[in-house]
Amino acid sequence: MLSAAVGPRASTHSETRRAIRRRRRCLTSSEQALAAERVAVALAQTRYFRASRRIAFYFPNDGEVDLTPVLKLAWAMGKRCFMPVLDTLRWNRLWFAPYREGDPLILNRFGIPEPAVAARHRVHARSLDLIIAPLVAFDRNGNRLGMGGGYYDRTLGFLRHRMRWHKPRIVGAAYHFQEVPRLGRAPWDVPLDGIVTDRPPPLWCGSRVSV
């Protein structure tokens, strides 16, 4: 969602962000760890995860669901894992850098870790099979509310203009309480194809999904 949005929709989204971020930050370490394990189990059972060879994860920030358990599973299964990296020239876009356990990391301008790899080793979203995306809120129509910067929507904007399904598939990871009744969809929004939470089963959304 673009940070430049104005009007009632922007105001409602701001209120939703504040409330859910506050609730996430109130979770204890044990509650976070339990949710991370449950999300990993649910995600690992999906056809998307099993069939994908090149998967993008994320480093948790601001109380987001930790994907470490499923990331370790992906490494053990021989999958190629990637992490989002801010574009240094166009700051509102993401690239994806390969990441293996123990690889060196650097902090981006938001204080979020990124793999310390040369730009030539980064890949475009088109080359991935699956992207597991963080979010602040979601609804059952696959609408995703992010932190407000619009990075994923801009990066994945090419998916809005395709009549047939093309990779990557986009699955959100969240706590169950991040679900809201309705978010609405702006022209620039890229909907999710599924959501996995700490309360199974996964939710599949949108006409592009074939389960």
Residue 92: phi, psi to the nearest 5? -100, 20
162 in any annotated domain: yes
pLDDT tens per residue across span 26-70: 999 999 999 999 999 999 999 999 999 999 999 999 999 999 999
Q: How many domains does the chain have?
A: 1
63 in any annotated domain: yes
91 in any annotated domain: yes
Q: Give the pLDDT band (50/70/90) at residue 208.
A: very low
103 in any annotated domain: yes
45 in any annotated domain: yes
Residue from 149, 111, 135 nearest 20 by CA: 135
CATH number at residue 40: 3.40.50.10420
Q: Give the pLDDT band (50/70/90) at residue 205.
A: confident
Amino acid present at 81: C
Output the pLDDT for position 7. Answer: 43
Residue from 132, 148, 145, 130 nearest 185 by CA: 145
Q: Give the pLDDT band (50/70/90) at residue 6.
A: very low
Output the pLDDT for position 92. Answer: 81
Output the pLDDT for position 187. Answer: 83
1 in any annotated domain: no
pLDDT tens per residue across span 128-150: 999 999 999 999 999 999 988 88
Per the structure, the complete domain to which residue 64 belongs is given by: 8-204
Non-local CB neighbours of 155 within 8 Å, separated by 6+ positions: 93, 94, 125
* Residue-averaged pLDDT of the chain: 89
209 in any annotated domain: no
Residue 174: phi, psi to the nearest 5? -160, 165
83 in any annotated domain: yes
Concatenate the DSSP letters of all residues of 185-209 into one string.
Answer: --TT----SEEE-SSSSPEE-STT-
Residue from 27, 15, 1, 14 nearest 176 by CA: 27
